[in-house]
Amino acid sequence: MTEPVTWLADGSPHSTRFNDRYHSCAGGTAQALGVFLMGCGLPQRWQGRPLFTILETGFGLGMNFLTTWASWEADPQRCEQLHVVSVEAHPVAAADLVRNVQSATPPTDTERPLSATIAVRVHELARAWESLSPGIQTLNFAQGRVRLTLAVGEVQNMLPDLNCVADAVFLDGFSPQLNPQMWSADTLRAVAQHCRPGTTLATYTVAKDVRTRLQTLGFSVAKCPGLPPKRDRLQAIYRGAADQPASEVVSETLNSPGSTQSAHTAQTLASAPLASHTTG
């Protein structure tokens, strides 16, 4: 049984279950690029590496995956293999994956090349999606160089069963007010168990409870300018052991070839004080 999607008058996908949009009104590609990839220091951090693993907590309509795949494909310095591990409790129909791309907000000049690739790749995803079943399965694309491990089930049940160590985390899901389980202490603790020192994390929400829980679990957290109309977004780095300074984690993990921008971002995260005036 697939999750029904309501399509609003402006073409945006909406969840009846959670009474929330699937992505920013700025568009799914813009959110994937401006919140999740940029917030995790990508594409710079995967460059020159044999394998890069991303953990995502909510697959939704697949725009983070498709945009990441298209960005990887466009990068001549891309990692040898990209592995995205994602959880989805309520998978939509394959036709809705395609419709979401076809009804997307007109791309900006920056997004246009990626959008053209996404428009092709979504059909490959939709074909593989037809055989989806509950539990954990792996879908292979790009001659096996792009792998999607999809865990179909409730996030708190599926995360402990995943076998991965994440280089980056896309912390995504419907808003904390409408889907509190996705952002609970138990869920975030399970996410942290798949991280290593230097793992980057990005999300669109800067809710105080989410920030506090991430800090308690060992993340250095910072608010950054958000994707309009949101004022802020969140990015973080997992510190690892309490006796290892965040600055050492940054140096060890992000000072890799082609990672100047990521290293600068990481140093900002390590030193930035956590503001507490934003709650959305």
* Residue-range domain boundaries for the chain: 27-271
> Which amino acid would we find at residue 229?
P
Q: For 181-199, what is each residue's pLDDT tens digit?
A: 999 999 999 999 999 999 9
- The CA distance from 66 to 118, in Å, is 6
pLDDT at 24: 74
Beta bridge partners of 149: 85, 138
94-102 vs 112-129: helix axis angle to the nearest 10? 170
Please report which confidence band the pLDDT of residue 280 belongs to, taking 50, 70 and 90 as the band edges: very low
Instruction: Please give the residue that has the higher pLDDT: either 27 or 245.
Output: 27
Does the pLDDT value for residue 278 go beyond 70? no
pLDDT at 175: 87
Buried/exposed code over 139-171 (b: 16+ C-beta within 10 A; e: otherwise): bebeeeebbbbbbbbebbebbeebeeebbbbbb
Kindly report the CATH number that applies to the domain delimited by 27-271.
Answer: 3.40.50.150
pLDDT at 257: 36
pLDDT at 268: 40
- Going through the chain in order, the beta strands assigned E by DSSP cover 6-7, 13-15, 20-21, 51-56, 81-88, 135-141, 146-152, 166-170, 195-203, 219-225, 232-238
Q: For 8-37, what is each residue's pLDDT tens digit?
A: 988 889 899 998 887 777 678 999 999 999
Does the pLDDT value for residue 208 go beyond 60? yes
Beta bridge partners of 89: none
